[in-house]
Structure formats: structure tokens, C-alpha cells
Structure 1
Amino acid sequence: MLPSYFFAHGAPSIVLEDNKYTNLLKHFKKDTPRPKAIVLFSAHWEEPVQTVSAAETYETIYDFGGFQDELYRMTYPAKSDLKLVEQIQLLFTKHGIGNVRNEKRGLDHGAWSVLKLLYPDADIPVIALSVNRHLPNEQQYQIGKALAELREQDVLIIGSGGTVHNLGRLNWRSQGVDEWAEQFDTWLQSKIESWDMESLFQYRELAPNAHAAVPTNEHFIPLLLAMGTGDANRKAELLHRSYQYGNLSLSCWQFN
């Protein structure tokens, strides 16, 4: 059974960078059995109803501005898998999760920037899934849990977001780490490793500096979704954590 993962996707330019975090992602396929498909929740796709992508071949969405020209020439023409789309929709329906299919939307940078580092050849089917910031945290977890059995079918499930993601507080010239960001991630690590979902569901009230770290929750949701897929075993491992621009966290969690 494949583990599931949470990957921070950082700034769009991460796909051009060479550091410890990007090296981890670039070597991922060497250390992980090749999946038959990838299911990815992206923080940059928000819908009021759980939506499942089903484009025959995905266009690449450049949902950012002001970055290197090279980024706007990159593509990730992965294909979908309609049988897997149908299975995902059946699983959601079985667990009482309303869902719809989208056959037109491409892959946003929350999806393709990570996938470009993990599997640059775009030769593995991809199913992108939306997030809904207005659902309770408990329900986010249950959405991930509904897909847990896909891991037994060699499907790689990924949540792509960021635990500390506050664009208004970035320091583009900083080489250090803001203490408030590190304090939040340290608290988060202790709760994830102990699988303390009661505290995690109440992170905004309990975690230090939560409102600074998570001013809006769309980037945090993919963590809860990914954790939900690991509910049966409840084993978490932090594979990497670093920071850019003072407080933008780059973390990778594995859920077995």
C-alpha cells in the first residue's frame, strides 16, 4: 500500500529552484514505487461542491504573475483516467459527499509545480480534486478518509498546500526564519505525530500564531485531507521542513 503525502508547493518558482526541498521532490520517484495514478488535492482549486477533474489531457494553468518567463513556457500535459474518476465519485457518494465532475479545467500551479518535480515526464494519469474552505475541519478529514482504499490500488494521494502561508508577511530578502512561523509548525508537528485530531481540528484556537500562519485556510486544508487518507494506521513522518522568505514553509509529510 502506497503512503499518502502532503507537499508544500511554495511559490510558483519552486519548480526552477535547487535546494534540499526540491532535491527531495526530484528524487521522490527513485525512492517510491511507481503509482498507477496520482490523485491530488490542490489549494488553488476552490469549489463549493467537491469537484473531480476529468480532462482528457490537461492544459497548464498559469495562475500567478510577476515570475520568471520560463515558468510561463512550462507545460504538464498529463492525462486523466476516467475509470478512476468514476471510482472516486462512487466513493464520495458512498460516504455521503456530494460531488461533480469537471472535464475542462487544467492543472493549476498548486498541482503542476509539484508534479513537475516529482514526475517530470507527465506520464502518470492525474486526477485533480478541489477544496472547500467553508467546511468544518472534521469534514475535510472525512473527505480524505473516503479515498483511503485507493492507496491499496497503487494510487498516490497528495495534498498540495502549505502549513504557514501568509503572503502579506513574506520578506523576499530574508535568509532566516521568523520565530512565529516556526512556533506554529513546531506545535503542528507534535499534534500530527501524535495524531491528535481533536487539537488539529481546533488549531485556530489552540496553536500559537495560528491566525498569522493561516490567515485563510485553503492551503491548510490539503494537510487534513491527506491525513484523512491515513486514518487506518495513523502513522506520520515529517520528511522535510524548511522556509523561504522568512516564513513560507516548505514541508513534506508522509502518512503510512
Structure 2
Amino acid sequence: MTTLPTYYLSHGGGPWPWMMETSRHLYRVLDASLKDMARQLGDRPTAILVVTAHWETPVFTFSTAERPGMIYDYGGFPPETYQITYPAPGLPALGERAAKLLTDGGMASATDPARGFDHGTFSLMQALWPSAHIPVVQMSIRRDFDPAAHIEAGRLLAPLRDEGVLIVGSGLSFHNLRAMRHPAAHAPSHAFDQWLQDSLVRLSGAQRNGRLLNWEQAPAARIVQPREDHLMPLHVAVGAAEGETGHLTYHEDDFFGGLAASSFQFGELAT
């Protein structure tokens, strides 16, 4: 079976795929990049492991619900967006296997049979595979936001890539909600995004890891990521493809009127 690449994807805001008629101008580029990603992957993934920025736990935890529900973890959207569903099945065996990979590697882990899909998962999955036919398992980020632990978790999960499991880190490369619509955030977002591209595409292995371990030293780091919850899924995706080349798969300079936002792929997709 082909070894699948890993991804760090900027997941956009709230339930945007269900609002394309009214917000297409905001998400047109992101939507096109995700559709292109799904086209390239084709039928290769047999399951998807989403490392979601919207689930924080003391130890890395994996969802094991057979039929996950929905978690509407956003506010201020139209009433109908609190009724949407993404009916993909879960895959308890994958959640259990992922947890065991961590435990066998000396890292504490847990499973959660009740966890539903949050918008860091269902918004991306709706854009990628609206048919909802591929099983999806969620992985939490660790509450301490330890960069080294998230990279190591990715290393331990890397064998899943040879088993048809697509590992997706779901976050947002710019995540300062208070500043998102403020022009003063534009320059910091571009400076940090350039650092991301320099670190993730031009470097790999120990050099790339070193950048991510010390991400707070990046230009405007704490302006762009005042809380690193939306960055930690990147560390897992990188750890699972540690020595492999990074590629920019989505980028725009005018996200929400002037912000820079990006997504990345790690490893090659065999043709």
C-alpha cells in the first residue's frame, strides 16, 4: 500500500462549507485547494485521522465512537448551521490502534467513545469529501501545548501512513480572532506566514523540528498565535513525516481582507 503524505490544513471559520453562497469570496481559494487535494488523493485513504485544534485534553486522546455526533463549537452563525451534519462513520479500531501506538512508545494516551465531530473536523471533511464515505477518527491536542510532545506523537503515529490512514492536522496558520479583521494584523500575518514557508518547505528533519520547537521566536509569533492551539496540529503532522519534503498546498495573501493563510503537505503523493 502507498505511504500517504501528511497535511496541516487551515480549516477556515465555523461551518463555512455550508455557507458558500453567502461567503464564497472569503473561502473560494481555500475551497479550491481542498477540492484539488481530494482529487489528487482519490481513493487512496481508507480512513482519516484528524488532529483537531478544537479538542484539548491532558493526554492525547482518540475518538472511538462508531457514529460520531456533532459539536457546534462556534457562535453567531445562522440558525440552520446548528442543524448541519457530517455523517461519516467513526472507526473505533483505528482510535484504539492509534492510542496503543502512543502507549507502546512510552506516551500516555486515552480513548473517548462519546466525542463527536467539531468544526475543525467537519468543515474540512465537508469540503474534501462531502459524500462522507471515509471513516474519520479525531485526535486531541495536549493541553500543555508542548511542541516536542506533539512532534513525538506524530513520530509514533507514522506507521498508520502505510496502512491507508491519512493524517491531517487541522488548525489555522493565523488564529488571532480579536485581530482578524483589523488592518494592523496584516503585516504580522505575512511575516509569520513567510517564516512558516521558510521553515516547512525549505527545511526538513532536525532543522525543521528545531524551528517548530522554538516557534515562539518566529516573527510576530504571539500576535498571530496568541494561544498555540491552532499550531499544535502542525507539529503532529510534521512529526509523522519527519524527514520528508514539505509543500505549500494553499496560500492567499488576502484572507479576510489582507491576512496571509497557508496549508502544507509533508511527503510525496505517489502517482
Please say whether Structure 1 and Structure 2 have the same fold, judged by a TM-score greater than 0.5: yes
Aligned length: 252
Aligned partner letter, 2:212: L
CA contact (8 A) 2:189 2:220 kept: yes
Cα drift, residue 14 of structure 1: 2.7
2:197 corresponds to 1:189: yes
The aligned runs of 1:1-256 (5 Å cut-off) are 1-15=3-17, 16-17=19-20, 18=24, 19-34=28-43, 35-171=45-181, 178-193=186-201, 194-195=203-204, 196-204=208-216, 206-231=217-242, 233-242=243-252, 243-246=254-257, 249-256=260-267
Aligned partner letter, 1:253: F
> Per the alignment, in what secondary structure is the counterpart of residue 8 of structure 2?
strand
Q: Aligned partners of 1:129, 1:101: CA distance in 2, in Å?
A: 9
Q: Aligned partners of 1:13, 1:244: CA distance in 2, in Å?
A: 16
Structure 2: stretches of 5+ with no match in the other structure: none
Aligned partner letter, 1:46: E
Structure 1's 253 and 59: CA in aligned 2 closer, same or farther, altered over 3 A? same
Cα drift, residue 82 of structure 1: 2.2
Cα drift, residue 247 of structure 1: 6.1
Structure 1's 84 and 13: CA in aligned 2 closer, same or farther, altered over 3 A? closer
Q: Deviations over 1:4-48 (max 9, x none)?
A: 111111211431333121112123322113210000010001111
Q: Aligned partners of 2:15, 2:185: CA distance in 1, in Å?
A: 19
CA contact (8 A) 2:154 2:235 kept: yes
Q: Deviations over 1:75-96 (max 9, x none)?
A: 0122112222221122011111
Please report the TM-score for the alignment, with normalisation by the length of structure 2: 0.87
Q: Deviations over 1:169-205 (max 9, x none)?
A: 0217x7x98111101110121011212221221111x
Q: Aligned partners of 2:125, 2:231: CA distance in 1, in Å?
A: 19
Q: Aligned partners of 1:79, 1:241: CA distance in 2, in Å?
A: 30
CA contact (8 A) 2:193 2:261 kept: no
Aligned partner letter, 1:188: L
* Identity percentage of aligned residues: 34
When structure 1 is superposed on structure 2, of 195-204 and 106-115 the one drifting more is 195-204
Cα drift, residue 73 of structure 1: 2.6
Q: Aligned partners of 1:250, 1:127: CA distance in 2, in Å?
A: 25
Q: Aligned partners of 2:88, 2:222: CA distance in 1, in Å?
A: 36
Aligned partner letter, 1:203: W
Aligned partner letter, 1:105: R
Please report the TM-score for the alignment, with normalisation by the length of structure 1: 0.92
Aligned partner letter, 1:222: P
